Amino acid sequence: MSIHRPETVPAPVPSTAPEPKRRLIPRPVRDAIELIATGRAKTIEAAAQRIGWERSRLSKWLSRPECISAAKERAAKAVAVGALRSGARLGELVESESAKVAMEATKFTLQAAGIGPATAAPVNVNVEVRAGWVIDLSEPDRPMKIVTGEAKPIESAGTMIDAKPSE
């Protein structure tokens, strides 16, 4: 009696390009990102003054990939916190004393949850408009083509519309 052993899977081959070493971001640059994210500094120049750096030096640092990544992470955190606060505020508005405000907040909450009617249905109308004059911009050595044609019916919202050129 023989024992069947499954073949061993070879180890994965490492990729040819190793992942770049993550560079550390200096504390003043992290502080500048926080100043800009919180609105305490409105510009890079204002943030640079607050951390004691020249604007060009901070600008160069902020354009590095690791600083861009840190800024995106900080922005995502601000959006997440804002979403939490917005949700709480929306809950407060549902309980508002104003009937109109409460109704609008309730409708918005239900729509966000996927409950209730959708917004107004879009109307699609395809209209084929033919120009009265056509300017031929083809090469001069090619003969000019004169194209005439009959108006074709236009289909709109499942109904055929017979479109005829006006005289």
Average pLDDT across the chain, whole number: 80
User: Between 145 and 27, whose confidence is greater?
Assistant: 27
Longest CA span, the chain: 96
Quick one: pLDDT band at residue 151, thresholds 50, 70, 90?
low
Quick one: average pLDDT of 118-130?
68
Contacts of 104 (CB under 8 A, 6+ apart): 93
**For 71-104, how does the pLDDT look when each residue is reduced to its tens digit (9 = 90+)?**
999 999 989 988 889 889 998 999 999 999 999 9
pLDDT at 131: 59
Bridge pairing between strands 154-156 and 159-161: antiparallel
pLDDT at 142: 75
Q: Kindly list the distances between the CA atom of residue 28 and the CA atoms of 34, 67, 108, in Å, as whole numbers in the listed order.
A: 10, 12, 42
Are 62 and 36 in contact by the 8 Å Cβ rule? The answer is no
Structural tokens at position 3: 């024992």
Percent share of the chain, pLDDT over 70: 63
Q: Kindly list the distances between the CA atom of residue 101 and the CA atoms of 37, 60, 75, 94, in Å, as whole numbers in the listed order.
A: 31, 47, 30, 7
Quick one: pLDDT band at residue 154, thresholds 50, 70, 90?
low
**For 5-51, how does the pLDDT look when each residue is reduced to its tens digit (9 = 90+)?**
666 666 676 667 666 666 799 999 999 999 999 999 999 999 999 99
Instruction: Please name the amino acid found at residue 149.
Output: G
User: Between 137 and 9, whose confidence is greater?
Assistant: 137
Quick one: average pLDDT of 96-125?
81
Of 62, 24, 68, nearest to 43 by C-alpha is: 62
Structural tokens at position 155: 């289909």
Quick one: average pLDDT of 141-146?
70
pLDDT at 129: 66
pLDDT at 72: 94
Q: Give the Cα separation of 31 and 37 in Å (integer).
A: 10
SS3 readout for 4-60 = CCCCCCCCCCCCCCCCCCCCCCCHHHHHHHHHHHHCCCCCHHHHHHHHCCCHHHHHH
pLDDT at 133: 65
Quick one: average pLDDT of 40-66?
95
